[in-house]
Structure 1
Amino acid sequence: MPTPRLALTPDVSHGPLDGAWWPRCDALELELPSLVGSLEPDPDTAVRVTVDPAEWLDTPRTVMAPGRVIAVESAGPGGETHVISLDCGSVGRWVLLVVPPDEPAGTAARLLAAAADPENPLTAARMLALAETDRLGDTAGEAE
């Protein structure tokens, strides 16, 4: 499995996001195993993932990964778009911005860095909107 393109906030959660993930494609069953593996949960730890069903075509209910089955749930109405939540039991829980796979590399790098910045209070939707206007770095300190 390729190494996931992932940036996490150091040490503790700081706000609406704990980092960002830039998958290579929109096939969750191909991308999720390497993401979960990089978070290093114990093989006996139950892993639950919540995703925005509009973002992942044909969202599976489970995804097979080496040594485990990952339970996948769809976010309910009102769930935040472009976000994935991973609950890895005692290892931790992460809420990540999902950078669209087709995002240009430069924009994706800025989004990964901004989402992992402990001083960034922005939501996923706000960060993506700012990235579209090329103003992400200008307003990283603004409050939602």
Structure 2
Amino acid sequence: MPTPRLALTTDVGHGPLDGAWWPRCDALELELPSLVGSLEPDLETAIRVTVDPAAWPDTPSTVMAPGRVIAVEPAGPGGETHVISLDCGSAGRWVLLVVPPDEPAGTAARLLVAAADPENPLTAARMLALAEADRLGGAKGAAE
């Protein structure tokens, strides 16, 4: 499994986000095992993940990972888009911005850094909207 493209805040739980994750594709069953493994829960820990069903087509209810089964639940009504929350028992709980897999590398890198900043007050939706506006503004400026 490739190392996940992940940035975590050092001060978990002090903002709307605890960091960001930039998966390589939208196949949760391929991406989730390395993400969970990087958070280092022990193999006996029950892992529960909540995802935005719109961002993960055909979301499975469980994902197999080395030595464990990860329970996956769709976020309910009112859940934030482009967010994944991972409850890893005693290892911790994280709420992460999910940077779309097709996001340009420069934009994704900026989003990873910003989401991991414990002083960042922005939600995932707001961060992605600002990134989109910057991208469109840059494209407009380049065309002029």
Query: What TM-score, normalized by structure 2, do the two folds share?
Result: 0.92
Higher helix share: 2
Tell me which residue corresponds to 2:47. Answer: 47
* Paired residue total: 135
SS at match of 2:134: coil
State whether residues 50 and 73 of structure 2, in contact with CA within 8 Å, keep that contact through their aligned partners in structure 1: yes
Q: Considering only aligned residues, what root-mean-square deviation do their CA atoms show, in Å?
A: 0.9
Using the TM superposition, give the Cα deviation of residue 59 of structure 1 relative to its aligned residue in structure 2, in angstroms. 0.3
Instruction: Specify every segment of 5 or more residues in structure 2 that has no aligned partner in the other structure, as ranges.
Output: 136-144
Report percent identity of matched pairs.
91
CA displacement 1:83-141 (0-9 Å, x = unmatched):
00000001100000000000000000000000000110000000000001128xxxxxx
SS at match of 1:107: helix
Tell me which residue corresponds to 2:33. Answer: 33
Larger Rg: 2
Tell me which residue corresponds to 2:103. Answer: 103
- Trace 1:1-144 onto structure 2 (pairs within 5 A): 1-134=1-134
- The residue type equivalent to 2:84 in the other structure is I
State whether residues 12 and 94 of structure 2, in contact with CA within 8 Å, keep that contact through their aligned partners in structure 1: no
State whether residues 18 and 94 of structure 2, in contact with CA within 8 Å, keep that contact through their aligned partners in structure 1: yes
Instruction: Specify every segment of 5 or more residues in structure 1 that has no aligned partner in the other structure, as ranges.
Output: 136-144
